[in-house]
Homo-oligomer: A and B are copies of this chain.
């Protein structure tokens, strides 16, 4: 698992520089379509059955491609999963994060921080749950998830520092608490048939305020 492919890539390098130029043009469009189709099949399969029958063959068949084409597009099975992770991160849209970290009001920053992750985690709970599970089991494969967690951890620390309550040790505790409360797993545990997305967010936001000992009366909207 997780070795990169070479044959095609190597051939390209070898042939490089001695042939006439060739622009992929239309070809790359169908490649993108195939890529998307396979990724979609991977997402559905992962959501439906986890990794139990998650084989390259099955995904390719589902996407109407051959197994070899899947290998050409993604290299290895691990490559498919990594592409899926990246795809999720892109679509999940944590693009608002830089903007949020610029927020002038500390409490509004906190509220937006909680909100953006609520939106992300709720966007595809089952898929994210599976991906986080894989990240925990296969550290190599889960490196990008770990990295995103680290970024969230640092962001939580900065939010707490902007709130400016307590000494350094207390800030460490509050940052860890905020980090834990904005984790996917906490949101996922909060979510159930009685508590759907907005109710979960409401409860989460209340709990965060209480945990950080903020005045809950000061409404920041949302």
Say yes or no: A207 contacts B177, CB within 8 Å. yes
Chain B residues whose C-beta falls within 8 Å of the C-beta of A199 in the assembled complex: 173
A189 to B150, CA, bound (A): 11
Is A29 engaged at the interface, CB distance under 8 Å to the other chain?
no
Q: Mark A163-200, 1 if CB is under 8 A from B, else 0.
A: 00000000011001101110101100110101100010
Is A134 engaged at the interface, CB distance under 8 Å to the other chain?
yes
Is A133 engaged at the interface, CB distance under 8 Å to the other chain?
yes
A118-138 interface (Cβ within 8 A of B): 129-130, 132-138
Is A213 engaged at the interface, CB distance under 8 Å to the other chain?
yes
Is A140 engaged at the interface, CB distance under 8 Å to the other chain?
yes
A213 to B189, CA, bound (A): 20
Is A151 engaged at the interface, CB distance under 8 Å to the other chain?
no
Say yes or no: A51 contacts B177, CB within 8 Å. no
A88 to B185, CA, bound (A): 21
In the complex, the count of this chain's copies comes to: 2
Is A1 engaged at the interface, CB distance under 8 Å to the other chain?
yes
Say yes or no: A189 contacts B183, CB within 8 Å. yes
Is A92 engaged at the interface, CB distance under 8 Å to the other chain?
no
Residue pairs across A and B with Cβ atoms less than 8 A apart, 25 shown, are A1-B52, A50-B136, A129-B136, A130-B136, A132-B133, A132-B136, A133-B136, A134-B137, A172-B194, A172-B195, A173-B195, A173-B199, A176-B189, A176-B190, A177-B207, A180-B186, A180-B190, A183-B186, A185-B185, A185-B186, A185-B189, A186-B186, A207-B211, A210-B210, A210-B211
Besides A50-B139, A137-B137, A185-B185, 8 other A-B contacts (C-beta < 8 A): A1-B52, A50-B136, A133-B136, A176-B194, A177-B190, A207-B210, A207-B211, A210-B213
In the complex, the 9 A-B pairs of residues with the closest C-beta atoms, listed nearest first: A133-B136, A185-B185, A180-B189, A210-B210, A133-B137, A133-B133, A50-B137, A180-B190, A207-B211
